[in-house]
Amino acid sequence: AQLEKEAIDAYDSVTGANYTSDAVMYDTMTSEVIPTYRKFVDELENIDVETDDLRKVHEGYIKAANIQYNAFIKIVSALEKQDRNLIAEANAMLDEARKGIRDYNAAIKKLAKEHDVKIEELKTQREKSL
C-alpha cells in the first residue's frame, strides 16, 4: 500500500491543479511514478492468497493496478508524441482502473466485516483532500 500511495501522490503532484509543464510531468512520470508503481504491481502479484474469496477480490485489484500502470505508460507516450488522443485513452484507462480499485475496496471491506477483521488504510493526498 505504501508504494501505491507514493506513486499516486507523485502522479497527483504533477496533474490537475498541480500541473506546471509537460517536461515536469514527463520527468516525474518516468523517474518516480512508473518505477514505483511497477514495483507496487510486482509486489501485489507476488502476494500469496489462501482463500478463494480473497483470491477473487485480489485478482480484481491486480487487474485494476495493471490497467493504471499501463495508463501511466500511455501518458508518457502521449507526452513524447504530443498526442492528445493518447491522453484521452490514458484518462479512460485511469477511470476504468479507479472503478476497479473502488470495487476492490468495497469487496475487501465486505470480506473484512464478514470475518471481523479491522483494516488500516493509507490515504493518498487526493483522498485526504476529498
- Residue 14 domain boundaries: 2-129
Q: Higher confidence at residue 114 or residue 127?
A: 114
Above 90 in pLDDT, residue 124?
no
Above 70 in pLDDT, residue 125?
no
Tell me whether residue 35 is exposed, middle or buried, using C-beta atoms within 10 angstroms of its C-beta: 0 to 12, 13 to 18, 19 or more. middle
Number of domains in the chain: 1
What pLDDT digit, counting tens, does each position of 57-113 carry? Answer: 999 999 999 999 999 999 999 999 999 999 999 999 999 999 999 999 999 999 999
> Per 3-state DSSP, what percentage of the chain is helix, strand, and coil (rounded to 5)?
80, 0, 20
Contact between 15 and 32 (Cβ < 8 Å): no
pTM, two decimals, is 0.89
What pLDDT digit, counting tens, does each position of 33-54 carry? Answer: 999 999 999 999 999 999 999 9
